[in-house]
Chain A
Amino acid sequence: MTGLADALMLGAGWNAALVTIGAALLGGAAGAVGSFLFLRGRALISDAIAHATLPGVGLAFLIMAGLGGDGRNLAGLMAGAAATALLGVLAVEAIGRRTRLTEDAAIGAALSVFFGAGLVILTVIQSLPAGRQAGLEGFLLGATAGMLLHEALIVAIGGAMAVAAVWALRRPMILAAFDPGFATATGWPVRRVDLAMLAVVLAITVIGLKIVGLVLIVALLIIPPAAARFWTERAVGMAAIAGALGAAAGWVGTAISATAPALPTGPIIVLTCAALFAVSLLVAPQRGALAALVRHRLMRRRVLQRQGLLAMARGVPAADPAARAVLRGEGLIDAAGQATAAGRAAAARLMRDEARRALLRRLRPDHPALQSDDGLTPIDALLATDEIADLDRRLMRGAGS
């Protein structure tokens, strides 16, 4: 465990520290960008972009090696990856716009065709004498072990620029996702905003190739935003939380993989993301699954208690055994099913509330309290004291006559 603690504190060596910082920056940028892609409903296009980088990596290697240079130059490989990824995006966009095919079909087609072409080119490279040690397969799943300083710097600078671009484009991206008609009507160029967003996604994908690899980069773009959505009701806040979750996943995932050199970095980062997602899904206060379960149980309890008390007021035992269990649990009936003093009082309160509500509905059908009334909360919480007193006077008079 000291190994992991060291790695988390950047104490596991210069190289591991570099990779950890780089992965955190990449995760943060990917989470922030991915949020807007997610809100636009186009998360999967990032998978097409990622897979379309592979032929570019191979072609760039062949060109650089063919010109007598070092085929493994990272900047050159990234330029090649960006070029074919751009072709891939343009193909998806063109198919989506010019034909009646939906975007998911276009994504599936582009993704597999580009990836297939990339694998063919990689196989060709493997058969070349210069290609054996190229290590290009590291781009598939990420290979951080031998990362160099300038490579880490490319990730850091690229990630920071992507975050800055997302910040600058946040308003048009929110408008394009929320209400594209209004965006157009107020003069925002929605199509260009979409292309700019995809350009930032493409940049993130390319700079992330070395760390998480093209197969898994999509996870960093999709999972943190999906997790962040559980925690907030504001788009900018969601991007910030997704960025923080992505950065944490990058940091922790790289530290874990540094403790066991055989573990590939990309999959560990993705699994860390998934753990953060699972926690968010379960424990988020408003939208989380546990909160929803608790709300549902409380609601059911209130409904059952009301049923039980209404039955008690009619002098019969509640038909639903669950309702009887609730009454028993609250001490409103005793073990024999007979109403206790507290139970009789509660039933009387409920009947008075029902009578007030019915009278209000008859006298003032447009009363605002009836608009917000859910039928379970006592109506007196929604009425002024003089209104309650007035209703009660009328009820008394009605009972007297």
Chain B
Amino acid sequence: MRTGLAIPPGPELPPAPAEPALVIRDLTVTWGERPALISVDAAFPAGRLSAIIGPNGAGKSTLLKAVLGMVRPLSGRITVAGIPVARARDRIAYVPQRASVDWDFPVRVADVVEMGLWRRLGLLRRAGPAERARVAACLDRVGMAELAGRQIGRLSGGQQQRVFLARALVQEAELILLDEPFAGVDAATERAVIGVLKDLRAEGRTVIVVHHDLATVRDYFDHVLLLNRCSVAEGPVAQAFTADALQQTYGGRLPAAYLGQIGLGGQ
């Protein structure tokens, strides 16, 4: 098991390339007449771990879905490494929220991971020994190699999360998006997942996480976007993740004692 918490974030990272990995300009998404995101601008640096933070209904998942082409924005431009996102689908990997999947579906763990290769294999090419080896390597990386033959519903929540992370790994994408990967998982899974994410960063990949646990933001992430339908603050965690910005994001509902607990008191 990797112990990701032991890897300190920060100064030894190489400087981020000048061009951000993901740029969002003036993104507006509405559900019927109700705006979910209003003119959001954001630029996520390449080779960094970024968090999207905000209260329930702030549009965090909607932002990911817009990037992934799952919802059609009313307006806005999204580019991945300078390329319009519609032409960059093969550069993006995605780990969905656990609730979005039918767990009684007849697939085994290794089949789910293989799905990450299907786009490249196309309709007809069979998965050969090279593909199977890559699937096995990615399962091993998240500590799930022994359960490769298990039906997907017979796993714990944390194990399911790791399988979906392995599916994203097998895609070997430059940009990896995760929707609440730490929601409802055990501590061992949280350690394993953050360890893998930090390894991905060390390989120069860009990781963007919709995150709900304010207490771990400073340990896990380099860059943060505080979102509540509009972009409230964005930047390196040290500058953007402040008590003031959090109170704006959460509508002043965070108790001062809580902010003190997560190291943001006295401001």
Residue numbers of A with Cβ under 8 A of B are 39, 168-169, 171-172, 174-175, 177-179, 181-182, 184-188, 229, 232-235, 237-238
B181-213, CB < 8 A from A: none
- The reply on B130 being an interface residue by CB < 8 A is no
Q: Are B69 and A179 in contact (CB under 8 A)?
A: no
Query: Can you list, as one digit per residue, whether each of B94-105 has a CB less than 8 Å from chain A (1) or not (0)?
Result: 101000111001
Q: Are B100 and A181 in contact (CB under 8 A)?
A: yes
Q: Are B106 and A235 in contact (CB under 8 A)?
A: yes
Of the stretches B45-53, B115-123, B221-229, B234-242, the one at the interface is: B115-123
Q: Are B119 and A178 in contact (CB under 8 A)?
A: no
Residue numbers of B with Cβ under 8 A of A are 65, 68-70, 89-90, 92, 94, 96, 100-102, 105-108, 111-112, 115-116, 118-119, 121, 123-124, 151, 167, 171
When the two chains form the complex, which single residue of A39, A171, A185 contacts B92, counting CB atoms closer than 8 Å? A185
20 contacts across the A-B interface (CB closer than 8 A)? A39-B105, A39-B106, A168-B124, A171-B118, A172-B118, A174-B115, A177-B102, A178-B101, A178-B102, A178-B112, A181-B100, A182-B94, A186-B92, A186-B94, A186-B171, A187-B89, A187-B90, A232-B106, A233-B106, A238-B106
**Chain A min CB distance to B143 (Å):** 12
Q: Are B107 and A184 in contact (CB under 8 A)?
A: no
Residue of A whose beta carbon sits closest to that of B103: A178
Contacts of B121 in A (CB 8 A): 171
Q: Are A233 and B69 in contact (CB under 8 A)?
A: no
Secondary structure dominating the interface of A: helix
**Chain B min CB distance to A169 (Å):** 7
* Bound CA–CA A178/B163 (angstroms): 14
Contacts of A181 in B (CB 8 A): 65, 68, 70, 94, 96, 100
* Bound CA–CA A181/B69 (angstroms): 9
Q: Are A179 and B100 in contact (CB under 8 A)?
A: yes
Contacts of B115 in A (CB 8 A): 171, 174-175, 178-179, 182
Which of A169, A186, A232, A235 is most buried by chain B, counting CB atoms within 10 A of its CB?
A186
Residue of A whose beta carbon sits closest to that of B110: A234
**Chain A min CB distance to B29 (Å):** 15
When the two chains form the complex, which single residue of B70, B89, B100, B106 contacts A234, counting CB atoms closer than 8 Å? B106
Using known A-B contacts A168-B123, A182-B96, determine if residue A234 contacts B69 with beta carbons closer than 8 Å.
Answer: no
Q: Are A174 and B94 in contact (CB under 8 A)?
A: no
Which of A168, A181, A182 is most buried by chain B, counting CB atoms within 10 A of its CB?
A182
Q: Are A185 and B123 in contact (CB under 8 A)?
A: no
Residue of B whose beta carbon sits closest to that of A232: B106
**Chain A min CB distance to B103 (Å):** 10
When the two chains form the complex, which single residue of A39, A177, A185, A232 contacts B89, counting CB atoms closer than 8 Å? A185
**Chain B min CB distance to A187 (Å):** 4
**Chain B min CB distance to A249 (Å):** 21
* Bound CA–CA A171/B106 (angstroms): 13
Residue of A whose beta carbon sits closest to that of B97: A181
Contacts of B68 in A (CB 8 A): 181, 184-185
Given pairs A185-B69, A186-B118, 10 additional interface contacts (CB within 8 A): A172-B118, A178-B102, A179-B100, A182-B115, A185-B70, A186-B90, A233-B106, A233-B151, A234-B107, A234-B111
Residue of B whose beta carbon sits closest to that of A231: B106
* Bound CA–CA A20/B180 (angstroms): 54
When the two chains form the complex, which single residue of B70, B106, B111, B118 contacts A184, counting CB atoms closer than 8 Å? B70
Contacts of A182 in B (CB 8 A): 94, 96, 115, 167
Contacts of B92 in A (CB 8 A): 185-186
**Chain B min CB distance to A43 (Å):** 14
* Bound CA–CA A235/B65 (angstroms): 27
Contacts of B101 in A (CB 8 A): 178-179
Residue of B whose beta carbon sits closest to that of A175: B115
Contacts of A168 in B (CB 8 A): 123-124
Contacts of B100 in A (CB 8 A): 179, 181
Q: Are A235 and B107 in contact (CB under 8 A)?
A: yes
Contacts of B151 in A (CB 8 A): 233
* Bound CA–CA A39/B106 (angstroms): 9
* Bound CA–CA A62/B210 (angstroms): 61
Contacts of A39 in B (CB 8 A): 105-106
Residue of A whose beta carbon sits closest to that of B187: A366
**Chain B min CB distance to A161 (Å):** 15
* Bound CA–CA A238/B151 (angstroms): 14
Q: Are B123 and A229 in contact (CB under 8 A)?
A: no
**Chain B min CB distance to A186 (Å):** 5
**Chain B min CB distance to A338 (Å):** 43
* Bound CA–CA A115/B5 (angstroms): 64
